[in-house]
Structure 1
Amino acid sequence: MAGRIVVGVDGSEPSVRALRWAAQQAELTGSELVAVTGWEFPMWAGLTPEAAVYDPERAAAEILTKTVEQVLGAEAAAKVTQQTVQGNAAEALLNRAEGADLLVVGARGYSGLKASVLGSVSLHVVQHSPVPVTVVRGE
């Protein structure tokens, strides 16, 4: 029976590297590949007219779909389960990783901690994951 590999994708270069690595691992092992992105509604969103038309879930789904298709190509992307989850990215990944064989994240994504060796999401995932984690670093 094939396993399941969950990968965090936020459109950042580290998440692109993680997606490539996870796709190769899924191909090698015959596992299902699940690409996940988490989104949170910005606290300030209700305060401006522009925010009234801002749909963070749709924006996150578009980033996920676009990234998966650009990185893997349309044919391979069609085989990837894509999940856009409301909530903190780390918690979204941890929840989706339940029962998976592996969770894959990039070393850093779109967080404010650019000077960190690991980003806040990858660090949290490594510390709390119910399954093995692979953190994909730079080239």
Structure 2
Amino acid sequence: MTGGRIVVGVDGSESSLKALKWAARQATVAGDSLHAVIGWEYPASWSTLMPGVPPEFDAERLARQILDESLARALTPETAAATTRTVASGNPAQVLVDQAEGANLLVVGDRGHTGFKAAVLGSVSSNVTHHAPCPVVVVRGEARGDEEG
């Protein structure tokens, strides 16, 4: 009997690494496969926000690097190797909603990056909780003063 699929949004933030770890544990318990997804898009005002960005800048390559580094940081080598990886161009929230079609669960962190990284990768927890085609778990990061538990 084959398990289902757990989709987890990754953007390299500490919150998304915590969500990735949680999703990996849940996939093991449930017998599901783990599918790590990163979505990226250029901001509408890309040229005015980032003057001087070299023309050879490759946002997709950066997103793939962030995804690979996140899996290496958060997961065991065996779990990282068994994880399906998707890098997709588009609004990150919509990318996750699309990738979650048919999934058992969608997992995201509660806060993503700010500034440039948010413009490219973005925090999407609020959006996906309203539009996902499956149950969503938002893994809460540490509040000020919280101890690692």
Which of 59, 65, 68 aligns to 1:65? It is: 68
**Gapped runs of 5+ residues in structure 2?**
116-121, 143-149
**In 2, Cα distance between the equivalents of 1:120 and 1:36?**
13
Residue range with higher mean Cα deviation, 22-31 or 71-80: 71-80
Residue equivalent to 1:88: 91
The percentage of counterpart residues that share the same residue type is 52
- Give the conservation status (yes or no) of the 8 Å contact 2:111–2:141: no
Q: Map of 1:71-82 to 2, 5 A cutoff?
A: 71-82=74-85
Q: Quick one: structure 1 residues 98 and 54, their matched pair in 2 at CA, closer, same or farther if it must change by over 3 Å?
A: same
Residue equivalent to 1:121: 124
Equivalent pairs, count: 132
**Gapped runs of 5+ residues in structure 1?**
113-118
Which of 57, 70, 91 aligns to 1:54? It is: 57
**In 1, Cα distance between the equivalents of 2:74 and 2:130?**
28
RMSD (Å), alpha carbons: 1.8
SS in 2 for 1:134: strand
**In 1, Cα distance between the equivalents of 2:52 and 2:127?**
34
Structure 1 segments (4+ residues) deviating >4 Å = none
Query: How high is the TM-score relative to the length of structure 2?
Result: 0.82
